[in-house]
A and B are shown apart, each in its own frame.
Chain A
Amino acid sequence: MADTNNAQEKEIKVEDLLRLKRAERPNDAFWNTFDRELHQRMLQTLVKKDPWYLQLLRGVSGRIAQTTAVGAAAAFLALMMLRPVFVDSAQPVSSPTFAKQVAEVLSSAPVEVAMSDLDTTLTPDYQIEAIRSTSSGLDVGYTREYAHDTFEVATYDSAAYVTDTASFAGTGLATALVY
């Protein structure tokens, strides 16, 4: 009785009330059913397999993804290794000056020039081809300057070129190549 009176004097707190919630517990029958149902569901989980097409798709996509990843990595590495070569050789092409020169050459149409119009005062250089007359107007021998090599176009009656005339019989010209 004294215990009961002491208990009444104590204050009841929220924590005390919440602790009563611990007494809301299922009985053994509930747990038996629970265990049975859970085992059934676990078995279903173990037995259940994805349809064949999903398995196939997963396998194929996995293989493709793997191959793609390896290929991409190899390509990236190769690109990184070859990059300096590409950069050095590509530099002039990408240069605006060079591109302009190429464009000029490609766009210019060939011009026909008469032999008499050729400037005899031109001096040969190694940048631009120069065709010049080597003697009088009757002499049709020309010299083309190509730095170290020269070839002459000579007349038919030159004894020095007789051996070459066979192949040029129809044209009446003989060619001697001088190196």
Chain B
Amino acid sequence: MKIIGWLVIFILGLSIINLVAYKIKVLAKIGFSLPIGMGINSFVMFSLNLFHIPINKINLLLGIDTGIIIFCFIGFYFVNKSIISSGSLFTKIDFKKAFNLNLAWIFLFSYAAYLVYAITVKSMFWPTYNSDSVDGYDFLARVIAREGTINNSIFNPDNLLIGVRSLYPPLVPLNFAFAYLLGFEDSKIVVALFFISLFVSFYAMTTKHTTPLAGALFSFFLVITPEFAAFSALSSSNPPCAFYSGIGMICLYTYYRFKEKPYLFIGILFIMLAVWTRTEAVLFALAGTIYLLSIPFNKKQLISVALLGFCSLVALLSWQIYMTSILHVESPMPIIKKLFWDPEKLSRILSQVKFVTFNTQFYGIIIYLFIMIALINTIFIFKKKENGILLGSIILAWSTYIFFYYQIDSDFKDLSMGGWIHSGYKRGLFYFLPLILFYCANNFISDKLFKKYFLV
């Protein structure tokens, strides 16, 4: 049942991709399938919950997922009739181009794959014990799996057992619950699958823009980021959100650069799922519009921007409305809803942000590498306009993220339990890692190095 369950989720994701974005890279399809499958599965569970249908009947869930797969296959037949009739349904994989077998590539890619395996094995060996999950996502998931509803006994006003992390959007707890329903003793398989998918997807997307050697090198940097890898071996919602927001932004950038529409659809879906994982990811919807607005403006672009905004808002509001009107609880984020100016607070935030961001124990040399490459590339910013857009989107997203913390109703003096910046912001930086490393692999200087001097 365990294998069948994840296979159904994989095929569900794959069939959605084939329906809306048949022409994307095969390796990207492999990397995207499970996260998309899990995202759709969580929508199915949430919808059933709205109609008071128990969501702990695994056969019912797998049946509905299979129904969607069949629907997608039928839809695929009608949408891609011309491709099917031309006989070019199965695109040949250019292995030479995808894996460009040189010694450095073999070394870096196989070492990175081994490290992904090591983190996955660690994740599977130790049960959930980190307090974030025990007092949050995993507890909610266990109760959902037993009681069959999101509005369960931990939201009972007579014995309210909600931690802050029980109130994040439901993608992660619903998929954790799904893992329990499949018979897993622990739900950490979900985070492990996201980590593997991120490695495959990041490599696939990077090599669409640059060489396999650069893809392998920066994928290696991604999987050895100390804090990110450590959290990917725990039970947390940050690595799944890092997948959706990071890869989503890369997909939207790919659409901007190559004007390949399939990446637009997948990018919008990923940003929507990022918001459905953690509310703060809505800032990527804002940053993502930079790519769409940088393309010569026409009616179609307006529709794309509207679609991105609409999908993100649907994900954001549906959970907020559910929380307030059905669960009768308030959002865990004490946000100040009006603009204000407090230079002392800003100074305290920035000094903590600086400490966390430039801490090599958390992110290794990635931040330094990014700033160095960005500074060097400012000289060539007009030679390669798309690099400037990519850098601009990162800066906009990052500044919005810091602004989000500025709007939190806290004076940022209390550092007990880590504080907002030392715990929340630190893990939130994971969302930027794929995008930052993607920029490091894709700029004027790196292009020169990898496409000319390091090309074997």
Do they bind each other?
no
Residues of B within 8 A of A (CB): none
